Structure 1
Amino acid sequence: MKFTVSQSSLMRALSVVAKGMGTNSTLPILSGVYIRAEGGQLEFQTNNLTISIRHLIPANVEEPGETVVSGKVLTNIVKNLSDSAVTFEGTPHSVTISCEKSTFRLNALSAADWSAFPELAPDRTIELPSDLLSRMVDKVYRVTSKETTRPILQGILLTVEDNTIRLVATDSFRLAVCDSSVEAAPGEQFRAIVAGSVFHDVLSMPSMTDTISIGTTESQVVFSFGTTTFVTRRIEGSFPDYKTLLPPTCSTAVTIDVAAFAAALKRVSVIAQQNASVRLDIDADGGIVRLSASSPDQGESSETMVCDIEGQSLAIAVNYHYALDCVNAVSGTETMRLELQGSTQPGIFKSNGSINYLYLLMPVRL
């Protein structure tokens, strides 16, 4: 095997497949990157038993061949090379890498032991604008659960129906829903549950194109864009029926300036380091919302905001970490609406625009 490729192109390819490299695996080959040179192109593959990634780039191939080398070591080498031509020469047991005056020899693993990339025929496929999907995933993926005991809550529910794309995530303490219009074929429907961290990683890849194709099989989800294919396990199970949590009306509605609320929340929560709750006292008659926090060790803090309030006065306490996640998700929006039923009922934040956003937050004890 012998080929030459630019350092920048090689570094970009390694960054694309990096998420598929195993980190703490007892099988050394799972920490490696498979490279095949043939027909004027290089094929890179990684596989950590959870996800498989394949990416193709053009190269000057003098002798075809394949090899597997340590992904971490190769990445560290390439990122420290100058932006020049990099030449690989491989034997069954080693690979020599040269760039200008630098030379490295890496021990290679047997390419024959590498698992073939899964060739899947999805039952259902949909093509979506990647920029829109990325912005929507950014709004909900932090709401997915970190607990491994309930895998379904680690996922994002993706549905496409009636020209509307919708993403839903929950960790049982909060719920995030966002939707937007999308052009789809008449009657086209799509539904899948994808791990939140995986969804975010895919859409953050440097090889992302204007559109992304998402397909599902009985047990896998396949993302395809440009010369990149990303395969991950499909999360099985029934996603919680979140629509039953959304009340049809509210007793109090507050129109909030997003930037002002974010700044006030950050200032008040400085005191709430051990007790992560911030109290919101809503004075409908005075048109004022008072944010406050207290700590037995640190003291107290409070700040008032002038808001447009409809309905009754009431008080509610929320986890400020969760409230900040909501505020960050709607950053760039001028106002949002907070709808409340009572002190012990969930609060619902809403923001409308090209992407409609709803964030339901369970209260904490006052």
Structure 2
Amino acid sequence: MKFSIEQKQFQNALSIALKGISSKNIMEILKGIYIEAEDDHITLTSNNLEIGVKTRVQAEVSESGIAIIEGKILSDIVRKLPDEKITISVNDNNVVKISTSKTKFNIKSMINNQFPQVEEFENDRYEKIDMKLFSDMVRKTHFAASQDETKGVLTGSLIEIDSNSISMVSIDGFRLAIKRIPTNYNLGEKKVVVPVKTLQEVTKLSSNENCDLRILFEERNVSFVIDNTIINSRVLEGEFLNYKQIIPKEFMTKIKINNHEFISSLERAMLVSNNNLVKLVISDDTVVVSAKNSEIGNLEEDIPVNQQGKDLEIAFNIKYFLDCLKNLDEEYIYMNFNTNLSPCVINPESDEDYTYLLLPVRL
């Protein structure tokens, strides 16, 4: 195998391929990137058995062939090379030669021992989805998924599809985020839970927000195609919580508040809060935001709101508030309450298709 490629192009392709390599890999072969050179391009493949990545990039191929090279080593070398054309070749002794006009590296390739490939499907099996809308769904829900690997299915986001819409739902036991987009896509009715890490990697791959994302759902896997890259991922098995039963239908207290003012106030409260705890006192069209720490000090701040219903005193984890609020684009949000022990439900003023539910902390 022998090919030449510009350093920046190759480094960009490697950064994509590295997404399929996990530091947790026990099998040595899974630390490698499978490189195939043919015609006028090279294909880079990685696979950690949970997520597989295949990306294609143009190159000057003088000798077709394949090689498996440890991904981190290869990426570190290429990143340190000058911005010029790189030539990579593999000899009969499985030695990889990486050279520029002044630099030559010789490194060992890995033995081609049943490297797990990333399956490609026929184009007509995929359905196109607007990348901007999909990225917006991920951005507004991913933070509510659990980061505790022992919680299994809750480390993913539920993608729920019917004839009129696609919904993305994340729950970690303390909060719930739902983003829905109306569609006329022909995806059929489906419910699959995709690892949040996979969804985040997919949104990072688009060259621009106007590109098309193509999705294929299978029984135990989901496949995404963005530009010249394929990401295949397993879906998470297990019973996802019935989130529709969790959301209250009626509320005793409702307020409309400026989102930017509220974010700024919560960030100030975090400076003096004990365990990120903030207390909200709602009365007379005002929310009093307060936080205290016996070793630092305290904060009390008034924010004007439009209030409907009863007065209320309630407390929350500041971080859980900010995770949501910083990902909302609207100037004003609605916050809905019942008691100081029941969840708060947040809705942006101009987006009825987004809901965030947050459990309070006992005072």
Q: Where on the TM-score scale, by shorter chain, does this alignment land: which range?
A: over 0.9
Matched, 1:348 2:345: yes
Secondary structure of the structure 2 residue equivalent to 1:248 = coil
Q: 1:198-231 deviations in whole A, cap 9, x for unaligned?
A: 1111111255771112222222111122221111
Specify whether residues 123 and 88 from structure 1 end up closer, same or farther in structure 2 by C-alpha distance, changes over 3 A only.
closer
User: What displacement does 1:26 show?
Assistant: 3.4
Over the aligned positions, Cα root-mean-square deviation in angstroms equals 2.1
Letter in 1 for 2:216: G
Give the Cα–Cα distance (whole angstroms) in 1 for the partners of residues 310 and 77 of structure 2. 64
Q: Which residue matches 2:289?
A: 291
Q: Is the 8 A contact 1:126 1:190 kept in 2?
A: no
Q: Is the 8 A contact 1:140 1:167 kept in 2?
A: yes
Give the Cα–Cα distance (whole angstroms) in 2 for the partners of residues 249 and 139 of structure 1. 24
Give the Cα–Cα distance (whole angstroms) in 2 for the partners of residues 160 and 261 of structure 1. 34
Give the Cα–Cα distance (whole angstroms) in 2 for the partners of residues 310 and 160 of structure 1. 35
Q: Which residue matches 2:21?
A: 21
Letter in 2 for 1:25: N
Give the Cα–Cα distance (whole angstroms) in 1 for the partners of residues 184 and 83 of structure 2. 41
Q: Is the 8 A contact 1:178 1:355 kept in 2?
A: no
Deviates more, 1:222-231 or 1:123-132: 123-132
Letter in 1 for 2:257: I
Q: Which residue matches 2:358?
A: 361
Specify whether residues 22 and 363 from structure 1 end up closer, same or farther in structure 2 by C-alpha distance, changes over 3 A only.
closer
Q: Which residue matches 2:269?
A: 268
Using the size of structure 1 for normalisation, the TM-score is 0.93
Q: Is the 8 A contact 1:253 1:310 kept in 2?
A: yes
Q: Which residue matches 2:311?
A: 313
Q: 1:219-252 deviations in whole A, cap 9, x for unaligned?
A: 2111122221111111112211111111111111
Letter in 2 for 1:315: E
Q: 1:78-106 deviations in whole A, cap 9, x for unaligned?
A: 11222221111112411101112111111
Q: Which residue matches 2:245?
A: 244
Letter in 2 for 1:364: V
Give the Cα–Cα distance (whole angstroms) in 2 for the partners of residues 221 and 26 of structure 1. 24
**Alignment match of 2:336 (pick from 326, 335, 339):** 339
* Aligned structure 1 segments of 4 or more residues deviating by more than 6 angstroms: 121-124
Q: Which residue matches 1:67?
A: 67
Give the Cα–Cα distance (whole angstroms) in 2 for the partners of residues 119 and 110 of structure 1. 24
Q: Which residue matches 1:8?
A: 8
Q: 1:249-278 deviations in whole A, cap 9, x for unaligned?
A: 111110010000000111122111x42211
Letter in 1 for 2:311: S
Secondary structure of the structure 2 residue equivalent to 1:249 = coil
Q: 1:50-88 deviations in whole A, cap 9, x for unaligned?
A: 211111112111111100111111111111222221111
Give the Cα–Cα distance (whole angstroms) in 1 for the partners of residues 26 and 60 of structure 2. 35
Letter in 2 for 1:325: D
Give the Cα–Cα distance (whole angstroms) in 2 for the partners of residues 159 and 107 of structure 1. 46
Q: Which residue matches 1:150?
A: 151
Letter in 2 for 1:350: N
Give the Cα–Cα distance (whole angstroms) in 2 for the partners of residues 89 and 122 of structure 1. 32
Q: Is the 8 A contact 2:290 2:300 kept in 1?
A: yes
Deviates more, 1:31-40 or 1:158-167: 158-167
Q: How many residues align?
A: 361
Q: Is the 8 A contact 2:206 2:226 kept in 1?
A: no
Q: Is the 8 A contact 1:11 1:75 kept in 2?
A: yes
Give the Cα–Cα distance (whole angstroms) in 2 for the partners of residues 154 and 243 of structure 1. 19
Using the size of structure 2 for normalisation, the TM-score is 0.94
Secondary structure of the structure 1 residue equivalent to 2:46 = strand
Letter in 2 for 1:74: L
Q: Which residue matches 1:227?
A: 228
Q: Is the 8 A contact 1:16 1:206 kept in 2?
A: no
Letter in 1 for 2:360: P
User: What displacement does 1:28 show?
Assistant: 2.3
Structure 1 spans left out of the alignment, 5+ residues: none
Specify whether residues 138 and 355 from structure 1 end up closer, same or farther in structure 2 by C-alpha distance, changes over 3 A only.
farther
Q: Is the 8 A contact 2:7 2:84 kept in 1?
A: yes
Secondary structure of the structure 2 residue equivalent to 1:30 = helix
Letter in 2 for 1:66: I
Structure 2 spans left out of the alignment, 5+ residues: none
Percent identity of equivalent pairs: 29
Give the Cα–Cα distance (whole angstroms) in 2 for the partners of residues 200 and 303 of structure 1. 36
Letter in 2 for 1:151: G
Q: Is the 8 A contact 2:3 2:60 kept in 1?
A: yes
User: What displacement does 1:42 show?
Assistant: 0.4
